[in-house]
Amino acid sequence: MVTLSEPRIVLATIVEGLCALALLLGAYGVLARRPWGWRAARGACILAILGVLLGTVSLAVGAGPRIQFNDLLHVVMLVLLLGGLALSSAKGSAASGTPPD
């Protein structure tokens, strides 16, 4: 049996919680077909990307315990969020009738 564990970092928990709430709000807006849904999803992705970058930089400068799994987790989250940002930008532009940038 494999047990995954990470050190608890209170500030990271707060940032991750805020990012999760923003992503949930964006997902709700999109799934409920609210007029602001794609903008909220795009904003949530940007917020979460900034949160991941803040965590990566914080760990790099020694502000918390650094383990290899955490580095991998940050890379995976960043890739997924960048994909979500691209999708929300494309869909948001299509939904508003303006061509994508």
Q: Is residue 5 part of a domain?
A: no
Contact 56, 74 (CB under 8 A): yes
Q: Tell me the Ramachandran region of residue 99: left when phi exceeds 0, alpha when psi lies from -120 to 50, beta otherwise.
A: beta
pTM of the predicted structure, to 2 decimals: 0.83
For 47, the domain range is 11-93
- The total domain count for the chain is 1
Burial class (CB in 10 A: 0-12, 13-18, 19+), 78: middle
> Can you give the pLDDT at residue 96?
59
> Can you give the pLDDT at residue 7?
74
> Can you give the pLDDT at residue 37?
95
Q: Is residue 32 part of a domain?
A: yes
> Can you give the pLDDT at residue 101?
46
Contact 30, 42 (CB under 8 A): no
Pick out the chain residues at pLDDT < 50.
99-101
Q: Is residue 71 part of a domain?
A: yes
> Can you give the pLDDT at residue 21?
98
